[in-house]
Amino acid sequence: MEWYLKVVRDNYANFEGRARRKEYWMFALFNMLIIIPLYIFSMYLVAEHNSFIGLIIYFIYSLAVLIPSLAVLVRRLHDIDKSGWMMLISFIPFIGGIWLLVLLVTEGNSVTNQYGTNPKGGADDINQIGQTVE
What are the tens digits of pLDDT across the range 101-121? 999 999 998 888 999 888 887
What are the tens digits of pLDDT across the range 39-62? 999 999 999 998 889 899 999 999
Distance (Å, whole) CA 23 – CA 48: 38
Measured in degrees and rounded to the nearest 5, phi and psi for residue 113 equal: -120, -170
Distance (Å, whole) CA 53 – CA 40: 13
Distance (Å, whole) CA 103 – CA 89: 10
3-state secondary structure 30-77: HHHHHHHHHHHHHHHHHHHHCCCHHHHHHHHHHHHCHHHHHHHHHHHH
CA 98 to chain centre: 16
pLDDT higher at 121 or 65? 65
DSSP code at position 117: S
Cβ(89)–Cβ(118) under 8 Å? no
- Reported confidence tier of residue 35, pLDDT bands at 50, 70, 90: very high
For 68, the 3-state DSSP assignment is helix
Buried b (16+ CB within 10 A) or exposed e, 78-101: bbbebebebbebeeeeeeeeeebe
Q: Spell out the domain ranges in the chain.
A: 2-118
What are the tens digits of pLDDT across the range 82-92? 999 999 999 99
Q: Report pLDDT for 39.
A: 94
Find the angle CA(91)-CA(98)-CA(104) to the nearest 5 degrees: 100
Strand partners, 43: none
